[in-house]
Amino acid sequence: MIAIDTSSNAGTLFADVQAQHVFDDQKTFADAVPLYSLPYIAAKYAHQKEQEGFSLLQFVRNNFMLPGQLTEHNQKPKKSIDDHIFGLWDKLTRTNTKDNGSLIGLPHSYVTPGGRFEEQYYWDSYFTMLGLVESDRVDLVEGMIDNFTYLINTIGFIPNANRTYYLTRSQIPFYSAMVRLLEEIKGPEILIKYLPTLQKEHEFWMKGSETLDEENNCCLRVVRMENGSLLNRYWDTENTPRPEGYALDVAVKMQAPDNKELYRNIRAACESGWDFSSRWLSDGKNLHSICTTEIVPVDLNCMLLHMEKTILAAFSLSGNISMQKKYEQLVAQRTAAIENYLWDEDSHVYKDYDFKNKHATSSFTLAMLFPLYIGISSNERAAAVLSFVKKNMLKEGGLLTTNVKTKQQWDAVKGWAPLQWIGYAAALNYGNNELSENIRKSWMQNIEHKYRLTGHLMEKYPVVMTASDNDTGGEYPNQDGFGWTNGVYLKMKHSL
């Protein structure tokens, strides 16, 4: 990837390609691999760009290897959806042990999401793994977990995906859920094996907590709440346009020139995995109002609690009494803080918390299900959440992501496989079998209907069936493949 330093020729080339929209998808050039040294290409560009008849697109094609994608023509399926998915696993699998352009080499093969995504993504991988287990591909599951372990040990955390331009942020932490998934197959000794890296990831998320006090209440990804408890937020160490979304970010900045943290807030939303959603927007609709780093999110803190509980289980298994007591305290503190700050008594659901203004945000999102997914909610609160979800979020094609319609892809009318699974599992955890079955059936029927028509499995789907198939929003087209859709579909099917 070309560094975005516009004072350099290489940076000028990158900015020109992105600003002129040479490719419809901004990620294309960010993922391109230079065929020659960057200084040589940059010098050539500086010399040639003013020449008559110069084509920037042709220059890029002559000097970079562009990423390929899994693509299929629209066609009615010739095989069952299960057979289609089983065949896709190998098509989506990559083996890249050496760094190549912006791609970071990993020691084991991995399953990519599909389409424009040629990397091993963090939270995507857990939901893909659900289907890999059902397909008897535990080899791939273990290899992908070990890839994440390698990243923790070499760079100190799991990045958004194995690209150099993702090294400033992580993603919602599902590593402990992956370890637990493998534990179900291979036994409790798995917890001991991955304990050191679980601790390292926890340290990454809690870095800076020791510096916080009443005056300085936030640092990196940690927030000190009014009562002294610690919760977390999404963050990014850079405050510059994203290489894979350069033109969009610059355009948004022009709408809010005084927002000095705008780029960081965009990047932090990408760390959430919900890029983008009204839940991060102070005015609920415009991307230039994004304020991700001012929000304590429900889902993030629940998954960090899951991580802490997993570490506690590992220390209990190993017999380390002092560390067991430490994590018992951490688990109790975070559980109490989630219930204190992320439960909204006015609406009787869990909500994100605006820690700058000290109140719940206005957004109603499926993140409210995460306390039920990890099993910490009281029966009374869980019943209220599930009642709200049934009444307001469940549609004929699955669960809405939020209850407001915007141009963003993590809002209505869109539905996403990982959140369908979270909702299904949350309802099951609290004995609401009717709701869990309705979520499962509505989502699976949506997938099956679209597959019968097109032979495709997509990244996201409209869940309001009167909506257009193109009504899926976002900064890039809906993608074909698709890892987490495949995984959740198989897991739900085999959960009958």
Q: How confident is the model at residue 47 (pLDDT cuts 50, 70, 90)?
A: confident
User: According to the model, what pLDDT value does residue 77 have?
Assistant: 75
DSSP 273: T
Distances (CA, A) of 227 to 218, 230, 296, 337, 429: 14, 9, 15, 9, 30
Query: How far, in Å, CA of 15 to CA of 21, rounded?
Result: 10
Beta strands in 312-412 (DSSP E): 343-344, 349-350, 353-354, 359-360, 394-395, 398-399
Question: CA nearest 480: which of 133, 163, 88?
Answer: 88
Dihedral, CA atoms, 355, 361, 367, 371, nearest 10 degrees?
A: 60
Q: How confident is the model at residue 37 (pLDDT cuts 50, 70, 90)?
A: confident
For the question of residue 203 being annotated catalytic, the response is: no
Q: DSSP 3-state assignment of 20?
A: coil
Q: How confident is the model at residue 284 (pLDDT cuts 50, 70, 90)?
A: very high
CB count in 10 Å sphere of residue 465: 15
Catalytic residue among 299, 344, 411, 459: 459
Q: Which residues contact 327 (CB under 8 A, 6 or more apart)?
A: 308, 309, 311, 312, 315
Q: Characterise 391 by phi-psi region: left (phi > 0), alpha (psi -120 to 50), beta (else).
A: alpha
Q: How confident is the model at residue 9 (pLDDT cuts 50, 70, 90)?
A: low
Question: CA nearest 463: which of 480, 488, 442?
Answer: 442
Q: Is the pTM of this model over 0.85?
A: yes
Is the pLDDT at 318 greater than 50? The verdict is yes
Of 408 and 41, more confident: 408
Q: How confident is the model at residue 157 (pLDDT cuts 50, 70, 90)?
A: very high
Catalytic residue among 119, 183, 244, 275: 275
Q: What is the pLDDT of residues 254-275, one digit of tens each?
A: 999 999 999 999 999 999 999 9
Of 72 and 39, more confident: 39
CB count in 10 Å sphere of residue 393: 24
Of 14-18, 83-87, 311-315, 472-476, which has the strongest mean pLDDT? 311-315
- What percentage of the chain exceeds 70 in pLDDT? 96
Question: CA nearest 373: which of 346, 338, 337, 412?
Answer: 338
CB count in 10 Å sphere of residue 274: 27
Q: How confident is the model at residue 2 (pLDDT cuts 50, 70, 90)?
A: very low
Residues 340-345 have a mean pLDDT of 98
Query: How far, in Å, CA of 420 to CA of 423, rounded?
Result: 5
DSSP 68: P
- What percentage of the chain exceeds 90 in pLDDT? 86
Please list, residue by residue across 174-186, b when 16 or more beta carbons sit within 10 angstroms of its beta carbon and e when fewer do.
bbbbbbbbbbeee
For the question of residue 275 being annotated catalytic, the response is: yes
Residues 83-96 have a mean pLDDT of 95
Is the pLDDT at 54 greater than 50? The verdict is yes
Is the pLDDT at 218 greater than 90? The verdict is yes
Q: What is the pLDDT of residues 61-88, one digit of tens each?
A: 988 988 875 444 456 677 899 999 999 9
- State the distance between the two ends of the chain, measured CA to CA, in whole angstroms: 46
**Contact yes or no for 155/166 (Cβ under 8 A):** no
User: According to the model, what pLDDT value does residue 474 have?
Assistant: 84
How far is residue 105 CA from its own chain's centroid? 20
Lowest mean pLDDT of 22-31, 121-130, 140-149, name the range: 22-31
Is the pLDDT at 28 greater than 80? The verdict is yes
User: According to the model, what pLDDT value does residue 496 have?
Assistant: 67
**Contact yes or no for 364/392 (Cβ under 8 A):** yes
Token pair, residue 9, equals 């020729």
DSSP string, 417-455: HHHHHHHHHHHHHTT-HHHHHHHHHHHHHHHHHHHHHHS
Question: What percent of the residues of the chain are helix, what percent strand, and what percent coil, each to the nearest 5?
Answer: 50, 10, 40
CB count in 10 Å sphere of residue 254: 9
Q: How confident is the model at residue 35 (pLDDT cuts 50, 70, 90)?
A: confident
Residues 50-67 have a mean pLDDT of 90
User: According to the model, what pLDDT value does residue 273 have?
Assistant: 98
How far is residue 237 CA from its own chain's centroid? 17
User: According to the model, what pLDDT value does residue 8 have?
Assistant: 58
CB count in 10 Å sphere of residue 168: 19
Q: DSSP 3-state assignment of 219?
A: strand
**Contact yes or no for 442/436 (Cβ under 8 A):** no
pLDDT, the chain, mean = 94
Is the pLDDT at 434 greater than 70? The verdict is yes
Residues 113-117 have a mean pLDDT of 93
Residues 115-132 have a mean pLDDT of 97
Question: CA nearest 230: which of 260, 255, 210?
Answer: 210
